[in-house]
Amino acid sequence: MRFLLPIKRSLWASLLAIAVNTSSAFSQPANHCFTQDTFPAFANAPLLKKMARGVNLPNWDTDHIEYRPNFATVRDLYGQGFTHIRLPVFHSAFNDADFGSADLADYTHWVLSVIEKLTGIGYAVTIDFHPDGDFNRLLRTNTEAGYRRLEQSWRFLAEALQDTPPELVAIEFLNEPDLTPEIWHSHAERLAHKMRQWLPRHTIVVGPSGPMRHESLADFHPLDDPNVIYAVHFYDPFIFTHQGAEWHPPSDPVRLSVGVPFPSRENDPRIDALIDRLTEEGHLQAAEEVRQIFEEPWTAKDIENAFNTVQRWSQKHGRPVVVNEFGVLSYDAPRTDRLFWLGTVVNAVEERCIGWTHWDYSDGFGIVDPRTHEPDKDAINALLKSKDASIPQNQ
């Protein structure tokens, strides 16, 4: 098995000092939320504080160089108040267990160099194992072989990450595990035990199986490890956050719907107009599904109730939770409604001492223009000044 020489410990120590002493110009969440007093059993309070506000950074490794993040903009976002980056990582060599390949060695060195850049700015970084369809298929169809491949992949990554500072670097076992709750929990327990042999001080990030929904967390028993942060994803109502998504099937109401509002109200004329259009175009099943989805209005209260579920779990078990994916596809959502939804989610989680990491940086859900690398100031204000959010005027 071929491993890269890790970045020198002295360099990581210097980066840690920079990160700890670099502060943001914008306001931060309530100080009482992310301290040892809030979660006395949790072993890494400095990292948890950094994970209060963040953004996902997909496309950092895309072959289309022009769409990779501009690190000057990433640095600017830190100055505005973002302190955490979730970095999705995956290489096709993991599918074949080709851990000695030169390509994988180069990729791993690239991962380390990006971590170095981000922690040098001041960010904490979560290494998010974000596999492709082939890897997920193995996990789903041959659970034991899939687990072994996951363990082997993390064994490789852990070797490379061993000298990174635990106060700044966390490890997320698996994005949206495509497994039953029972099988995934068993896998997570086994992998956590192994990980403590390889990375004894690094914080583990783990969430429930499937799309990592908030309801699923309620049935997820904490791992037997005090140094774990639990994660959920939030995209409700899905027809609003994913409206117009072209990767959905042609007859899917999510793909067919545009201009879906948030919040909605009873007898909402915009919903009625959408149902009428779908009916006129012959999408009768989609029209009926939209009608059922909006039988009851979707409001800020629904978002608050969702995170009440998360808060109850966190308080019951004394374990920290982050929502490390949430966002709205920007192409077809009404802009003011999208901004209001973002602010509403942030208000709900910060009031409940839940950290957040927006999905995403500059892709379809992004807060940065992928061509100009200019930040979307309104979206950033919606996230960082969320308490100023007001209901869209058309309500």
Residue 23 has pLDDT above 80, yes or no: no
Average of per-residue pLDDT across 71-81: 97
Give the chain's domain count. 2
Average of per-residue pLDDT across 141-158: 98
> Domain of 348?
9-241+299-388
Residues 214, 359, single domain; the answer is: yes
Q: Hey, is 330 helix, strand or coil?
A: coil
Could you give the dihedral angle defined by the CA atoms of residues 87, 93, 97 and 98, in that order, rounded to the nearest 10 degrees?
-130
- Closest Cα to residue 262, out of 323, 156, 345? 345
Residue 127 has pLDDT above 60, yes or no: yes
Residues 136, 72, single domain; the answer is: yes
| Domain assignment present for 349 | yes
Structure token digits, residue 11: 């360099």
Average of per-residue pLDDT across 363-391: 88
Average of per-residue pLDDT across 303-316: 98
pLDDT tens digit sequence for 206-246: 999 999 999 999 999 999 999 999 999 999 999 999 999 99
Helix 377-384 × helix 335-350 angle, to 10°? 30
Residue 2 has pLDDT above 70, yes or no: no
Residues 257, 173, single domain; the answer is: no
| Domain assignment present for 187 | yes
Residue 4 has pLDDT above 70, yes or no: no
- Closest Cα to residue 54, out of 131, 158, 128? 128
CA distances from 120 to 15, 103, 166, 343 (A): 5, 26, 14, 29
- pLDDT averaged over the chain? 92
Alpha carbon 2 to chain centroid distance? Answer: 30
Separation of alpha carbons 210 and 79, rounded Å = 34
From 233, 263, 293, the end of a domain falls on 293
At residue 393, the pLDDT reads: 56
Separation of alpha carbons 107 and 283, rounded Å = 45
At residue 289, the pLDDT reads: 97
- Closest Cα to residue 261, out of 225, 224, 299, 223? 299
| Domain assignment present for 325 | yes
Residues 153, 277, single domain; the answer is: no
Evaluate the CA torsion angle 73, 83, 357, 204 in order and state its sign. positive
Residue 12 has pLDDT above 60, yes or no: no
Residues 216, 318, single domain; the answer is: yes
| Domain assignment present for 222 | yes
Answer yes or no: are the C-beta atoms of 270 and 261 closer than 8 Å: yes
Structure token digits, residue 153: 């992949």
Separation of alpha carbons 92 and 98, rounded Å = 9
Helix, strand, coil in percent for the chain, rounding step 5 = 45, 10, 45
Residues 285, 167, single domain; the answer is: no
Q: Hey, is 7 helix, strand or coil?
A: coil
At residue 116, the pLDDT reads: 98
Buried b / exposed e over 339-362, threshold 16 CB at 10 Å, is bbbbbbbbbbbbbbbbbbbbbbbb
Residues 287, 311, single domain; the answer is: no
| Domain assignment present for 178 | yes
Residues 155, 76, single domain; the answer is: yes
Average of per-residue pLDDT across 70-89: 98
Residues 282, 317, single domain; the answer is: no
Separation of alpha carbons 56 and 99, rounded Å = 26
| Domain assignment present for 106 | yes
Residues 260, 384, single domain; the answer is: no
| Domain assignment present for 326 | yes
At residue 38, the pLDDT reads: 85
Residues 144, 274, single domain; the answer is: no
Q: Which pTM value belongs to this model?
A: 0.91
At residue 390, the pLDDT reads: 59
pLDDT tens digit sequence for 99-123: 999 999 999 999 999 999 999 999 9
Of 30-34, 79-83, 281-285, 363-367, the one with minimum mean pLDDT is: 30-34
Q: Hey, is 104 helix, strand or coil?
A: helix
Residue with tokens 């309500």: 395
Bridge partners of 229, per DSSP, are 205
Confidence of residue 176 (pLDDT cuts 50, 70, 90): very high
Residues 367, 331, single domain; the answer is: yes
| Domain assignment present for 277 | yes
- Closest Cα to residue 100, out of 212, 12, 219, 2? 2
At residue 6, the pLDDT reads: 41
Buried b / exposed e over 127-166, threshold 16 CB at 10 Å, is bbbbbeeebbebbeeebeebbebbeebbbbbbbbbebbbb
Separation of alpha carbons 128 and 376, rounded Å = 25
Q: How many residues does the chain have?
A: 395
Rg (CA), the chain: 21
